[in-house]
Structure formats: C-alpha cells, structure tokens
Structure 1
Amino acid sequence: MSEYFVGKQDADGQDPAEPPVPGQPPAAEDAPQRASMGTHTPVPGETVRLGLPFNGVVPLWYEGEDITWHRSLDLDLSTLLGLGHVQTVPGPSPTPPGWSEQVEVATLSYPPEEPGPTLHLQAVAPTGRRAVNHEGQGALLRLSPPLEAQAALADGLDETSLAIHVGRLMIRAARDSAILLFTLRAPHDPEAHHLLSIPAEVDEQLVMHFHLGTLLDMDGGAWAGATRQDGMSLLDLDVPFEPLLAAGSGEDAPGLDANGLVDMARPVVDCLLKPGFPFALGYSFILPQEPR
C-alpha cells in the first residue's frame, strides 16, 4: 500500500510504519511507484464500483486496478451510499451457501460542457408493495475532475462524518441481518483485500448485535475487550437501537443521534484507519438470499 505515497517505502518495499494488508502479495521489487493521483482513460457508459466516501470525496473503482477520486458537485454521497437505495450487482467475495455479496455500482458519462464526469445512480428495484412502481431513471450527479487523494486529506480526515456514515451502515446491516464487509484496494492490484467483516442482527428487544472480525492486530482503546482466535481479532458489540433515535436531530443523520452513532462506530473506524489509507476503502453487504 506504500505505493500510494512516492518515496515512503524502505529497501524491502514496505513502509515500516504500515501493518501488512491481510492477503496482500509481496510487491515486486521493480514495480513502478505512483502517487495517489487517480488516472483513468474515460469510457462513456462504463460501470464503476463505489468506494467508501471520505471528506466529501467518493472513490470510483474501475474494472482492473484504477481508482479515481471525485467530489460530488450536487450532494454529499455519504448521505446516500450504502443505505439500500442504490442499485447493486453481485460482488467477487466468496460467500456461504444461501448468501450473496452485493456491491453498489453506477455508470459514468462525460458531458463536454461539464468539468468532470457525471455519475448515473440507478435506484434499487422496488420490492413488495413498492414493486408496482418503476425504479425510475435514477439520478445524475455531477462530479469534479479527478483529485489527488492526498489533497483531499490535506486538512486531515473528518473522522466524525466518517463514523456517522459507518454507523448508519452498521444499522442497515443489523436491520437486514447482513454481513457488512469493508475492503482495502491496494495499488497495482485489482483484488480488494478483506479488512473487516461484521455479521450483524437485531433481536426482538431491538438490541443490535455486531460481531467484528479482522486479521489486523487490534487491541486497546475501543478494542480493549477484543479476543484473538485463529489469527483474528474478534470483538462483539451489543447496542440498543432506541437510544440512537431519542435525541437525533442532526442534518447528517436525520432521526439518529450523531454522538451515539460515533460511539457505536468507533471500533470499526479505528480498524479501518489502522492501515493509514482511508481513501482506498470499499464496502459491501453480504445478504441472505432468503429473508431470515
């Protein structure tokens, strides 16, 4: 992952301050270094996978190894992505029988009158009673030209906004009895590496249960209660849902208590930020194919 930052590697190609990414193959000694400037040859109508937003920036993952980073000129995509509103396709991760990974995708166009591409977000197809309605034509969101990832982090990472968004993803996972999966995209590697998995559910008392598992060595702080088993750090969280609704009034998370979301998501955010590359994170949901 050090190749995102030119000149940060030691003689062995490894950043001494960076823990290895689970499953990442050793970098070739002659692999060219590149800065984290997203470059990609535009292909109108191309489908992209949506990465985890940070600082108002959304990463776009292309087929192959390319990533570009853009600001939305119309709205903060963290208020929309990962919440079950956007069309998905089956993801690449292996899943247990009866389960399916779903990743959110969009298509790109390049209007000549706009400075950057336009993101075409298609709404998820309605189900149940809503199935009588057509999902519509989707939304067109204007994006900035590609950014340098370091420039998007020049003033630091807005961890509070990231935690609020992650907390909302956790609630969605519990609601759907899903596994929330976070991944990390390495440079020169089209494979996304599993960083943290969170099987989740909610019981009849509206208590949400999250079972965090990562190959990273997590201890102390929000992970003080973690255990180690089979090379993994494991942490269980039990979070009542109703207190998160009691005081919610913030615009970033309407109807939810922002402080409560941040507290709930703290162990997750600590794990996601440990490798040091918040701009290369992805997310997906592994869902039961039949309602549980």
Structure 2
Amino acid sequence: MNYRGRFAPSPTGHLHFGSLVAAVGSWLCARHAGGAWLLRVEDIDPPREMPGSAESILAALPAFGLAADQPALFQSQRHAAYEAAFEQLKAAGMVFPCWCSRNDLAGGLHLDGQCLAAPADGREPAWRLRVPDIEVCFVDALQGPQNQNLRLSAGDFVIRRVEGYYAYQLACVVDDAFQGITEVVRGNDLLDSTPRQIFLQRCLKLPTPTYLHLPLALDGEGRKLSKSERAHPVDPTDPLPALRRALDFLDLPVSSTARDPAGLLAHALDHFTPDRLPHCSERAAA
C-alpha cells in the first residue's frame, strides 16, 4: 500500500511552534516515503475551539511550504460516520450507557463494564467502551516497543460524551481508516492514546496503521508547548525563523543558503531518515 500520512490539528488556537514541529515531522516522513500528506481538522469539541483558528491554521501551513495533497477533512462534517461506528459497537454489545460522575469514580478508572450509578431522569448518559483485561502491544517507529494493560491504564473509556459529541479516540480511528492513513506521525503526548485506538480498530475491524511519536517541544518550565499554555503562534508572514527552529529541533540539517521554505524543506528532506529523529522531548529555543 502506498504511504499516506496526515497532520490533524485541533482548532483551539493559531498554529504554534509545537504544532509546526508535528506538521514538519509528518510531512517529512510522508515525502521521504514518496507518499501523500493529508490534513484533518479535528473540530469535534466546540466548547474548546477558537473561532477562525481552523482557517488560520490551514492558511498558515502553505506559507511554511507544507502543502497537502488533498483538501482538508473536517471532523465536524463526519458525524454520520461516527454514528455508524457507534451503532456497530452498540449492536455488538461493546458499549454501555453511563451516568457516573467524577465523584462516583473517585478520580479513578471505570473498570466494571457497566454503570455504577442509577440512570438519571432527564439527563443523557455518556457511552463507554467495555475494556477487557488485555495487553495491547505495538512497536512505535521512534519510541520502540510499547506495552499497555488497557483495562488498568484506561478502563472503560468514553466514546460518546454526555453532550452528544463523539470522543477523540473514536473519531480519530474512524477517520484514519477513511483517509487510508498508513502511518500516524504525531506528538509524544498521544503515545498513551495509541493502545485505546488500536483496540477500537480491532473492535471495528479497521486496519491498524504504524505509529511514530515525535518528541514534544517544551517551554522554559518543561511544560508542553500548547495552545492551552498560551504558546505564541508562529508567524506565516515571516516563516523562515520558525521553520529553521523546527528543523533544528528535529535534529535535521538547516540550509544556510536556502531563502524560502521550499528550499529549507528540500535540503532537510535530502538528509532525512526517520531513524535520525530525536526520541526525547526537550525545551524549545525561545
């Protein structure tokens, strides 16, 4: 199968340095493999989204030389696909309604395969996936062998929220299959989510891509650079400084003669192999 990779930002703010690193890393892996690089806007959590940020991110990426091979897929337009996957799981008895509050769970995991609370009149339940006591093992292309006891690590996790929104884990799995993604390249903060997604793929009889989790760019206090931490957006009107920093962060050679993003990326790609990427997260230069 031809390689198909993707970059899937959430529209909770403008493109920042940590997201640029993930975009560059996934683009380089796709181009190195001679494959396609796709975009997906993960806009399924309206309360967290910032108006206009999806358009801002999609407009910024080409300024950094990162042009997708197909129009972006918007998860907000994919409700019917998630509903179909949910009904498939429901018909197989793999999900159950749950009215448990955080207090009911006392901050712990839901491990019982059924709701611990009584149904609440007038209140919609969340829906959880029943998780057996299994070990999910996979080999990350950068982080190496991974092994997680899914029941003890995640428990019966939510796939449809009380508000009716489908959870990230389900939407991600359905859309990776729909887009034909063969390798998921993303930040190391999502490494812990991968066993849940592999289990969901098995439940839905969907293909499992390979995975490569990139190191995270951290701020001066060792925290993940993210929109929630108010990381400063990168400037698409002056893309070279941030793009040079992103390539340097990924331990890739930065051309001293390139005068545009295309030249910088072409030079990096000439010297790129996935195994030369750094494994560990580190503080990003200011």
From the two aligned structures, give the one with the greater helix fraction: 2
Q: Same fold (TM over 0.5)?
A: no
From the two aligned structures, give the one with the greater strand fraction: 1
TM-score range, shorter chain: under 0.3
Q: Normalized against structure 2, the TM-score is what? A: 0.22
